[in-house]
Amino acid sequence: MSLSFPSDFIWGTATAAYQIEGGAREIGRTPSIWDTFSHTPGKVENGDTGDTAADHIHRRAEDVRLMADLGVNAYRFSVSWSRVQPIGRGPAVQRGLDFYRKLVDDLLERGIRPVLTLYHWDLPHDLETAGGWPVRETAFRFAEYARILGDALGDRVDRWVTLNEPWCSAFLGYASGVHAPGRTDPVLALRAAHHLNLGHGLAAQALRTVLPRRAQITVCHNAAAVRARSQSPEDLDARRRIDALANRIFTGPMLSGAYPEDLFKDTARITDWSFVKADDAATIHQPLDWLGVNYYTPHLVSAATGTGADASRRDSRTRGAGEKSPWPGADSVTFHQPPGEVTEMGWSVDPTGLYDVLMRYTREAPEVPLVITENGAAYDDKPDAQGAVHDPDRIRFLHGHLSAVHRAMADGADVRGYFLWSLLDNFEWERGYGKRFGAVHVDYGTQVRTPKSSARWYARLTETGILPDAAV
């Protein structure tokens, strides 16, 4: 039986500024933490940087045409903070704003709704030098930046995302150090998580003061489906610990107005959480017009089966497990590779995890609509002798996950849209250019774009609203 989606369903695609833009020193831009990190030897595979990336800064119009060919009606992109506000404070650089004004105009001319993400991990280097996200002041600087963007683009952009995956910013950036800025201090990571939450709340408040009433504001979480390897009390407690750090540290204050008490107990030997001020929870708990859900793969955990010192590092989902754990207070937890198929990233392919997180949010916050703001997979895509790029594995991945979305909707989840990650092959953070997530292949030497088989498959879906067969 064919699976059909509502006629008003949002079909989109998504990117991030540092991953595609390039132009690292152009139109007013100064270094972000990812410029500094990627130029540090040994931090990124093959010494790759985002200096040129997919050269979107010069190929904006071509890339918007590719979106139109996909038939999408929405595009989620992020703004490079340091292109707009080079040192993270003070007046905006109009040349930087003009790039995003032109991008938005191009999108609207094609009938594509712009969905603007304020922060996708590229903190201005100067703010990191001043302490970064572990410092409370950064949250207030973020709100100032949000107001600048709202003033400049609020007349044409009506959907706004404050943060993308704050878990990655806090715990990969400040605990395990495999992401920028590369710091490895669990106390700083927990402080960063709180100040990212606070920054979200302050930015939402700032946007509400300058945006039209029709504007919608949200946040995107990398929702974690955390599963216990067994039903033993020890394994169930391991799941609880990771769920607190992966999910509830953010959704607790954002959706319910309070941090989970078990999180405080689990991390009491690390910090007393005195950096949380009396009114912070109320500031963080801002109304959300919908919730962005990013999903790739589930976690499978148990009580420690090896030494506690290395147990919590073995997690293929953390995008390159480092020597330090991204899970403060969870040294007693072991991560396991789930059985079955994996992507080129080594991540388990399991659409049931997406179904599970959608149903969880439906139970816990039934009043908040959901949008899948990222979902996709990396595979070893290469052009054939004729220059075509066939990616049947990605088509099967998308078919399986969109089937899970349809099932969740049938079971009561209020899902309003789906954004394919990603439009283009791009700079995949600490993995450099070796992992390809795009529906469009990019030859990084020539910057030639070639739509893959999955792009044509997705275009059929966006045109008809009916899920095409996975066979190719």
* Active site residue ranges: 165, 374
Both tokens of 99, joined, read 């790039």
Distance CA 330, CA 301 (A): 11
Half-sphere exposure of 136 (CA within 13 A, CB side): 6
Contact 197, 277 (CB under 8 A): no
- In the block, residue with structure tokens 């989902």: 317
Q: Rounded CA gap, 52 and 19, in Å?
A: 9
Yes or no: say if 334 and 266 are a contact pair by the CB < 8 Å rule. no
- Residues 340, 343, 347, 349, Cα dihedral to 10°: -50
Strand partners, 294: 222, 374
Burial per residue of 89-115, b for 16 or more beta-carbon CB atoms within 10 angstroms, e otherwise: eeebbeebbebbeebbebbeeeebbbb
* E-state strands within 404-464: 415-421, 440-442, 449-451
Structure token pair of residue 351? 């659409």
SS3 call for 299:
strand
> What are the residues whose beta carbons fall under 8 Å from the beta carbon of 230, sequence distance 6 or more?
302
Determine how β-strand 216-222 pairs with β-strand 159-164.
parallel
DSSP of 113-173: EEEEEEESS--BHHHHHTT-TTSTHHHHHHHHHHHHHHHHHTTT--EEEEEE-HHIIIIIH
Structure-token pair, residue 244? 């607190």
